Structure 1
Amino acid sequence: MPQQQTSSPGQGQRFDWWAAPAAAPQPDRPAPPAPAVPPPAPPVPSAPPAARTEAAPPARPLAPAPVPPVEAPSAVDSSEVYRAVQGSDAFQEIKRSYRAFVLPVSGAFLGWYLLYVAAQAGAPGLMRSQVAGPVNVAWLLGLLQFASTFLLTWLYARNARTKRDRAALGLRWDTQDQLR
């Protein structure tokens, strides 16, 4: 990296804002006062001298905590349980219901978006047509893109809640019971 010369550093000195030396304290400003440290507290005697001469009872070692018995690993293999669930009719029905909603709706939304882009490119005169005041067809269709996004999100959540969530939760509980 070539060295840049500026007028502020001395001859042959390099001046980078990230490598500038720390500024020394200025004499016109007083240094901040040092934090006050409280004096150490005097030691507190633990017991009178007469009590220290008596022998303390020997300390008992703590008894070890009881160890719970180790259970043998379950004979059910989790990968077999999940394979069985994946092949079950209930799981296939959940997947079928999901695809039946998502694929057509995604295709319709993608087509609607591509129609909007194609209209912008292919029919600029139509898109400039005034609808109401300063709002033209392009603005109206652009705002409808947002509205359709929110509408489809709401429809998806409602469809999942009413058609798939209960079945998926039941399948999940059955699977967890098999894994215990």
Structure 2
Amino acid sequence: MTTRHQETTIYEQIQASPRFQELRKKFRSWTFPMTVAFLAWYLLYVLLSGFARGFMAAKVLGNINVAMIFGILQFVSTFLIAWAYSRHAASKLDPIAEELRHEVEGKNS
């Protein structure tokens, strides 16, 4: 029977391990820049909508204007980022996380 202190110790050991630190670094090195890029893209859309109304109202094709295209591209970029993160996680993060999970399970046995 394991005590709560022993379980905490196992997870603290894993957290301090080089593999876990590598996992965190790979997660952060993709997630933080992508978050900044997406927020910048979103804020550009908001700022242009508020302060460049003439530009955003410019008709591109029929009744389709720049604002509508930018709005649709917000959805497209969200889905592309989710897809790219899924690929990144599957190739770079999941294998390390799986190793760590097996290590924890082995220590808990």
> Shorter-normalised TM-score: what interval?
over 0.9
The structure number with the bigger radius of gyration is: 1
Q: Shift of residue 80 of structure 1?
A: 1.2
CA displacement at 1:79 relative to structure 2 = 1.4
Which amino acid counterpart does residue 106 of structure 1 have in structure 2?
A: T
| Counterpart selection for 1:141 from 70, 75, 82 | 70
Aligned-residue offset at 1:77: 1.7
Matched with 1:131 is: 60
Alignment deviations for residues 83-135 of structure 1 (CA, whole Å, 9 cap, x no partner): 11010000000000000000000000000000001001111011111111110
Counterpart mapping for 1:65-76 below 5 A: 73=1
- From 85, 88, 101, the counterpart of 2:17: 88
CA distance in 1: counterparts of 2:11 and 2:44, whole angstroms: 43
**How many Å separate the matches in 1 of 2:105 and 2:77?**
38
Which residue of structure 1 lines up, in the alignment, with residue 8 of structure 2? 79
Q: Secondary structure at the match of 2:96?
A: helix
* Counterpart Cα distance in 2 of 1:105 and 1:146: 15
CA distance in 1, matches of 2:96, 2:22: 9
Considering Cα pairs closer than 8 Å and 6+ residues apart, tell me whether 1 or 2 has the greater RCO. 2
Aligned position for 1:158: 87
- What is the CA–CA distance in structure 2 between the aligned matches of 1:106 and 1:74, rounded to whole Å? 40
Q: After TM superposition, where is structure 1 displaced by more than 3 Å over at least 4 residues in a row? A: none
* Contiguous gaps of at least 5 residues in structure 1: 1-72
CA distance in structure 2 between the partners assigned to 1:112 and 1:156 by the alignment: 17
What is the CA-CA distance between 1:74 and the residue it aligns to? 5.2
**How far apart are 1:171 and its partner, in Å?**
0.7
Q: Give the Cα–Cα distance (whole angstroms) in 1 for the partners of residues 9 and 66 of structure 2.
A: 57
Q: Compared with structure 1, are the counterparts of its residues 150 and 74 closer, same or farther at alpha carbon in structure 2 (3 Å cutoff)? A: closer
Q: How many residues align?
A: 108
1:101 equivalent among 30, 55, 75: 30
Q: What amino acid is the match of 2:100?
A: L
